[in-house]
Amino acid sequence: MNCPVCTRPVDMGKDRCNHCGVSIQVYKKIVRISNTLYNSGLEKAKIRDLSGAISDLELSLRYYKYNTDARNLLGLIYYEMGETVTALAQWIRSKNFDKNNDMADYYINSVQSNRAKLDEINHSIKKYNTALELARQGSEDLAIIQLKKVVSQNRKFIKAHQLLALLYISTGQNELAIKCLKKIRSADINNTTTLRYLNELGVCVAASYGVAASADRKVFHGDANVKVKPVGSYKPETARAFPFINVIIGIIIGLFVGIVLIMPTISGRLNKEKNSEVTDYGERLASQESTISSLQYENDNLKNQISELENTIKELGEDDSLSLAELYDKILSAYIDYNEGSKSKALAAVMDIDESSLESEAAKKILKKIQSEDANTASAEVFEQGRVAYNSGRYEEALTYLTEALNLNKDNYDAIYFMGRLYHKQGDKEKAEQYYRQVIDNYPDSPRASEAESRLSELGIDINNE
């Protein structure tokens, strides 16, 4: 533990800092209270009372934010509940507070090293947000479909299960709601939202509590290789008169120095800083209000279009127009990507869709909006992603990006050249020669033409002698 004034290490067995002499009695009590709350959260986590553990650990960090043991455990609990982003945020803050925090490093590396898992988690979060927006608009059926995909990808995502159960209740499917709630009850036995929903459905939660708290559930299923150690508990100290006298004298001297010497300087500096902040805030607010108004108008129009498209999908029902329903679903997925900023991905998904094959006016408007994007610009953006993947040695990912770039713009000679480089790197000389010659024959004035000739020379092919 470090002194709160001089930030040097202090001896917890003493009442004053060895370096600056300031009293640390109150500081020690705060740290001990934080440790006591950490121990309480650890005990609750062991019996899978995750919600109660979160409350204790967050209160522990309010007392002492440098309690890295409590912050690491809080991150583990959020990860167990399927909230990976929040867990990573806690571990990163823990690492920032303590550069030698090996446990935080281990947790962060364990999550970030699995790129496929991270992409899956990110995709499930996007689908959850989409489902939440659909639920707010009253499209319960579409929201349920999205949430089923979310819980199948991330079975620990408690909030997604709760929202799915709430939609089941809203649509009168109480048995499915009870089944969904019981799944997450075993993961977090005292989650107040889960208990409230079960009470509304007439399920006796008191009877199921004994099962959830039985011996076979008194283990926190976080990382099997992680051991979380309890820290010292809080013990009240015997009050002594002399330290209080010293504290009072120190306070009087500090007030005198502050009033006479320090306060005028601090007040002037604070006033100057506040005036500058108010000016900057006013300028930002004025620009943001204009942007928000235009975005709100566009957002309302987009919501109306999505709602009309969803109604059309509902009307299709379960008739024999399965291909048309899939087409609308493809357009809706592309529109979600478009709104999230992945315009090139959305454009590539709907490039081959003919507007005349659609019956819904809303779908036609959305299709026109996406297809109005500049295919050449989108192709260049996707090519750049493919080039980065190629330079990083991720050849399969690079092939996907380069193919998508050529689908958007068949004249993207950069993408054609790098397709040749990719096959050249993988030892497929025949395909590499095919793409190099395509650059030389079709785009002789491009800067890639001379590079393609050099690559053909590396393959032992001299086009000048042909």
Confidence band (pLDDT; 50, 70, 90) for 165?
confident
The amino acid at 187: A
Q: Is 16 helix (H, G, I), strand (E, B) or coil?
A: strand
For residue 259, what is the DSSP state?
A: I
Residue 247 forms part of a structural domain? no
Query: Same domain, yes or no, for 131 and 206?
Result: yes
Residue 195 forms part of a structural domain? yes
Segment 67-121, tens digit of pLDDT: 888 888 888 888 878 788 888 888 888 878 887 777 878 888 887 787 777 777 7
Residue 207 forms part of a structural domain? yes
Query: Same domain, yes or no, for 89 and 134?
Result: no
Confidence band (pLDDT; 50, 70, 90) for 212?
very low
Say how far apart CA 277 and CA 292 lie, in whole Å.
21
Query: Same domain, yes or no, for 404 and 326?
Result: no
The total of structural domains in the chain comes to 4
pLDDT at 291 over 50: yes
Q: Which of 16-20, 219-223, 258-262 has the highest mean pLDDT?
A: 16-20
| Final residue in a domain of this structure, among 217, 232, 267 | 217
Say how far apart CA 314 and CA 309 lie, in whole Å.
9
The amino acid at 254: G
Say how far apart CA 450 and CA 440 lie, in whole Å.
8
Residue 257 forms part of a structural domain? no
| C-alpha pair distances (Å), 407 with each of 350, 352, 365, 366 | 11, 10, 22, 20
Which of the pair, 311 or 217, is modelled with greater confidence?
311
pLDDT at 319 over 50: no
Segment 39-77, tens digit of pLDDT: 998 988 888 888 888 888 889 888 888 888 888 888 888
Q: What is the CATH number of the domain that holds 461?
A: 1.25.40.10
pLDDT at 199 over 70: yes
pLDDT at 4 over 80: no
Query: Same domain, yes or no, for 123 and 207?
Result: yes
Lowest mean per-residue pLDDT among 236-250, 396-410, 448-462: 236-250
pLDDT at 330 over 80: no
pLDDT at 11 over 50: yes
pLDDT at 248 over 50: yes
Say how far apart CA 82 and CA 184 lie, in whole Å.
11
Provide the token pair at 399. Answer: 């092939």
Provide the token pair at 193. Answer: 């939202």
Task: Give the torsion through C-alpha atoms of 368, 370, 374, 375, to 10 deg.
Answer: -100
Q: Are 426 and 410 in contact (CB under 8 A)?
A: no
Residue 151 C-alpha from the chain's centroid: 16
Q: 250: which residues sit within 8 A by CB, 6+ positions away? A: 23
Segment 138-150, tens digit of pLDDT: 888 888 888 888 8
pLDDT at 318 over 70: no
Query: Same domain, yes or no, for 401 and 356?
Result: no
Which pLDDT does position 36 carry in this prediction?
Answer: 92
User: What is the residue-wise DSSP string for 191-230?
Assistant: -HHHHHHHHHTT--HHHHHHHHTSGGG-S--S-TT--PPP
Q: Which domain holds residue 428?
A: 375-465
Mean pLDDT to the nearest integer, 113-130? 80
Confidence band (pLDDT; 50, 70, 90) for 267?
low
Residue 290 forms part of a structural domain? no
**Nearest CA among 219, 149, 227, 223 for reference residue 187:** 219
**Nearest CA among 146, 142, 116 for reference residue 128:** 146
Residue 241 forms part of a structural domain? no
What is the Cα Rg of the chain in Å?
Answer: 31
Residue 240 forms part of a structural domain? no
93-101, long-range: CB < 8 A, 24+ apart: 94/68, 97/65, 97/66, 97/68, 97/71, 98/66, 98/68, 101/68, 101/72
pLDDT at 341 over 70: no
Q: Are 366 and 335 in contact (CB under 8 A)?
A: yes
Residue 1 forms part of a structural domain? no
Q: Which of 75-79, 274-278, 289-293, 330-334 has the highest mean pLDDT?
A: 75-79
Mean pLDDT to the nearest integer, 407-429? 89
Confidence band (pLDDT; 50, 70, 90) for 27?
confident
| Final residue in a domain of this structure, among 113, 141, 165 | 113
Query: Same domain, yes or no, for 71 and 123?
Result: no
| Final residue in a domain of this structure, among 113, 138, 164 | 113
